[in-house]
Amino acid sequence: MSDEKITYTEAMHRLETIVSTLERGGMGLDETLKLYEEGADLLRLCKTELSAAEGRLHELQLDDIETELQAEEQ
């Protein structure tokens, strides 16, 4: 996906629209499949976003992290 991928929140909104459109019914087969595929992509994206939020836990004193950042700058 490109850099301008949609956010988790936007994805959830779009999902809600897709699901309620499908639930309202009256879609053709083509449209149904297209919506289903879009929804499945959005769900995958959301799950990726959730796992991307897990990571390292740092706990540093102000002086230490400042020193660390300064070292990086050199």
Size, binding site for other proteins by CB under 8 A: 40
Amino acid at the residue 53: A
Q: Both tokens of residue 72?
A: 């990086």
Measured between alpha carbons, how far apart are the two ends of the chain, in Å?
34
Q: What is the token pair recorded at 56?
A: 């390292």
- Indicate the residue among 1 and 57 with the shorter CB distance to other proteins: 57
48: contact with other proteins by CB under 8 A = no
- Cα gap 12→18, rounded to integer Å: 10
By the criterion CB under 8 A, which residues form the site for other proteins?
7-9, 12, 15-16, 18-19, 22-23, 25, 27-29, 32-33, 35-36, 39-40, 43, 46-47, 49-50, 52-62, 65-66, 69, 72
